[in-house]
A and B are shown apart, each in its own frame.
Chain A
Amino acid sequence: MKPHLPSTGSAYFFDTAKAATETHTLAVIVDNEPGVLARVIGLFAGRGYNIESLTVSETQHEAHVSRITIVTTGTPNVIEQIKHQLERMVPVHSVADLTVMGNALTRELAMVKVAGQGEKRVEALRLAEAFRARVIDAGTTSFIFEITGKTDKVEQFISLMVPLGLVEVARTGVAGIARGVEGMKV
């Protein structure tokens, strides 16, 4: 029996912890066919990728083409894999990494229900004006605000509403588009 070196890993050894994770926003153009969203989500679930936010809607009705915007986090290697794994799916037309393209615009919309009376009610309305949130429903004891903007602005508004009687929030998730004259390959 010869001596053997001590083991330092396994057949499934992966350097996971070393690289820092990044957040990327991906725009994915897909055929709007039954199950296409399940296919994309299934890829993320099956391969252990993160989904921070996901929005989907048909953007070209005649061509039955939808646009999915996914905010995901991972190491640069994982982000690259996610893009390749999406690209090889049969109903996927194209994938754009808006974060890499730089300067891309991202927005989300939230509807925020706040209930309260007196001082708190006035303060909520005052903050809403400062954040350019619109009042889309009002009663004597409640408001529903509509706020649009980058995720951190929406987050900040919601957190300010907590002490003022936040009741409920509905958010769309992030939609994104690159600046400039060029459109995304469909």
Chain B
Amino acid sequence: MTGAEIVLKALADQGVEHVFGYPGGAVLPIYDEIFQQEKVKHILVRHEQGATHAAEGYARSTGKCGVVLVTSGPGATNAVTGLTDALMDSIPMVCLTGQVPTHLIGNDAFQECDTVGITRPCTKHNYLVKDVNDLARILHEAFYVATHGRPGPVVVDIPKDVQFATGKYVGPKNIEHKTYRPRVKPDQNAIRAAVDLIATAKRPLFYTGGGVINSGVTASKLLRDFVAMTNIPLTSTLMGLGAYPASGKNWLGMLGMHGTYEANMAMHDCDVMICVGARFDDRITGRLNAFSPGSKKIHVDIDPSSINKTVRVDIPVIGDVAHALEDMMRVWKSKSHALDKKALDVWWKQIDGWRAKDCLKYRANADVIMPQYAIQRLYELTRGKDVYITTEVGQHQMWAAQFFKFDEPNRWMTSGGLGTMGYGLPSAVGVQVAHPKSLVIDIAGDASVQMTMQEMSTAVQYRLPIKIFILNNQYMGMVRQWQQLLHGNRLSESYSESLPDFVKLAEAYGGVGFKAEKPAELDGKIKEMIATPHPVIFDCRVASMANCFPMIPSGKAHNEMLMGEDVPDEDVGSAVDAKGKMLV
């Protein structure tokens, strides 16, 4: 079998149905094989970054491994952003890169770059295949590494002569890495200690993250059961939305820099924090030495390096979330533990008091569409439908997280750790490929969406009826918000000059364009958009100066949030003091 045949056989044997890629000189033998088979379908993107984000969306919405195929040199370097994004958000991905023939490696050959060198720090692991007889094993191993333990991207760099050479194929049976064995089953002593600590809590709180989603649907189910059994309130990171339903009564909303008042106050005041599959990111903790000062902390994580990285925890539980939750519930029941009901009632009363502040309220407007209102209407009009949401990065992303309610896991695809503008559109392409019948919406900003706009062409080619819902405020909104708050209202280069006519742009690509400028026409236009069986760009013109609140400004603690009502539009520049402005 030739190396190229081995690649396709290995992908098919791994159950890969879709590959996102872009051809080029150093991968032509593999593309020739793709042409001659039918098991693996190739989706041609318009830029390699798009391929990586599409694979991320595909992976995140299905729980499967995303697969990318790009050429050497610029193909590989263009994939770096998506690889880093997948590493930061723990998305399983295998990226195959072409390489110049082995005898030319190191010669500055045409379209050569040191792919394994460049991608070493932005992948979980990477390989350069020098012998065709290693190729099949390495490919299967790559899938094993990408999907086991904390998931992440793996690059396999395949020189062109290896693709042509003939070698032996081995199947995926019994192939794992010879030494890499991440711990899945947690230590039972840690489980018992964690459960005993929870039982003593008077103000307990679940703080959950993307690890719950990565662990699989069972983990979300177990989390819901645990919460129902104990009546403990729950908040989640951006990456964890949907693991616990936003319609659930114990849901406090997202926490962190743009989290809800009740979630952040509860984090600050809780006495036992149960962190499940989250990693105490700086956007979550705010000022570290004021982070939840009075709590004992339990941290469930599959990656030991996440433990005590930024926040010291009392009880680390290393293992897979689903296993840990299952064990904890079993021990909880066998010990007949119960929380102090009276204390819990007091805790819930306090939380209800915080909820009453209604921290997400905004000034409604009859003449211009408020961005929050647009998301609320989008949510209401798609409620009950089979809907997947992706986002770009910025204000619209935070508003989507605040106002769109997710009741199921794997329905929310966003770039959390890396914060990659341009993630949403290609990600929506990937989601729609995986779920052709579902409603897939990219909630976008006018600036972000232009970073990967060319993938609209991919959507049209494959008849993927994605809906790109742009909250168009003609600014890089989050940049402008920070400039207003932190840089003396000097709006340096954050105004989007010369925006395209998005409706015409949609039409130019062969899609359908909509535009809404008034609140009164919004519902009708959204309904039309949903009913359109083609790719859509929806230009939703929103209030241009609206800002995203609540916000924990830099250097503040969870109980020092900036609320929208505290910051009148004309006074936005003095909301953060001089010292805070220095320290972002």
A48 contact set on B, CB distance < 8 A? none
Interface stretch of the complex, out of B22-30, B280-288, B347-355, B371-379: B280-288
Min Cβ gap B398→A in Å is 15
A35 engages B116 (CB within 8 Å) = yes
10 pairs, A vs B, C-beta closer than 8 Å = A7-B579, A9-B555, A12-B282, A35-B120, A38-B117, A81-B308, A84-B304, A88-B303, A91-B125, A91-B180
What per-residue 1/0 map shows which CB atoms of B289-324 lie under 8 Å from chain A? 100000000000001110111100000000000000
Most A-side CB within 10 Å, residue of B289, B562, B582: B289
Closest B residue to A38 by beta carbon equals B120
Give the docked Cα–Cα distance between A77 and B307 (Å).
11
Whether a CB of chain A sits under 8 angstroms from the CB of B18 is no
Give the docked Cα–Cα distance between A8 and B287 (Å).
8
Q: Which of B120, B554, B574, B584 contacts A42 (CB 8 A)?
A: B120
Whether a CB of chain A sits under 8 angstroms from the CB of B531 is no
What per-residue 1/0 map shows which CB atoms of A67-89 lie under 8 Å from chain B? 00000000001001100110111
Closest A residue to B572 by beta carbon equals A1
Q: Which 7 A/B pairs are nearest by Cβ-Cβ distance?
A: A10-B583, A7-B580, A84-B305, A7-B555, A90-B125, A7-B579, A9-B555
Q: Which of A6, A15, A88 contacts B289 (CB 8 A)?
A: A15
Whether a CB of chain A sits under 8 angstroms from the CB of B505 is no
B465 contact set on A, CB distance < 8 A? none
A7 engages B554 (CB within 8 Å) = yes
Give the docked Cα–Cα distance between A31 and B303 (Å).
21
B555 engages A8 (CB within 8 Å) = yes
Q: Which of B307, B308, B584 contacts A11 (CB 8 A)?
A: B584
Q: How many residue-residue contacts, CB under 8 A, span A and B?
A: 104
Chain A's interface: helix, strand, loop or mixed, by majority?
loop
Q: Which of B128, B304, B562, B577 contacts A34 (CB 8 A)?
A: B128
Q: Which of A1, A10, A85, A92 contacts B554 (CB 8 A)?
A: A10
Whether a CB of chain B sits under 8 angstroms from the CB of A170 is no
B566 contact set on A, CB distance < 8 A? 1-2
Closest B residue to A1 by beta carbon equals B571
B576 engages A7 (CB within 8 Å) = yes
Give the docked Cα–Cα distance between A6 and B309 (Å).
27
What per-residue 1/0 map shows which CB atoms of B537-574 lie under 8 Å from chain A? 00000000000000001111000101000111001001
B337-396 contacts to A, CB under 8 A, are none
B571 contact set on A, CB distance < 8 A? 1
A8 contact set on B, CB distance < 8 A? 287, 555, 579
Whether a CB of chain A sits under 8 angstroms from the CB of B425 is no
Min Cβ gap B139→A in Å is 15
B453 contact set on A, CB distance < 8 A? none
Give the docked Cα–Cα distance between A5 and B580 (Å).
10
Q: How many residues of A contact B (CB 8 A)?
A: 33
Q: Which of A11, A13, A38 contacts B283 (CB 8 A)?
A: A11
Q: Which of B149, B305, B577, B583 contacts A81 (CB 8 A)?
A: B305
B145 contact set on A, CB distance < 8 A? 90
B116 contact set on A, CB distance < 8 A? 35
Give the docked Cα–Cα distance between A34 and B180 (Å).
17
Give the docked Cα–Cα distance between A88 and B554 (Å).
31
A88 engages B257 (CB within 8 Å) = no
A9 engages B303 (CB within 8 Å) = no
Decide: A11 near B282, CB < 8 A? Known: A1-B567, A39-B120, A91-B179: yes
Whether a CB of chain B sits under 8 angstroms from the CB of A150 is no
B113-130 contacts to A, CB under 8 A, are 116-117, 120-121, 124-125, 128
Give the docked Cα–Cα distance between A5 and B556 (Å).
9
Whether a CB of chain A sits under 8 angstroms from the CB of B177 is yes
Closest B residue to A15 by beta carbon equals B289
Give the docked Cα–Cα distance between A108 and B121 (Å).
31
Closest B residue to A93 by beta carbon equals B179
Whether a CB of chain B sits under 8 angstroms from the CB of A4 is yes
A10 contact set on B, CB distance < 8 A? 287, 554-555, 580, 582-584
Most B-side CB within 10 Å, residue of A11, A35, A38, A42: A11
Whether a CB of chain A sits under 8 angstroms from the CB of B34 is no
B560 engages A5 (CB within 8 Å) = yes
Decide: A1 near B309, CB < 8 A? Known: A7-B554, A10-B554: no
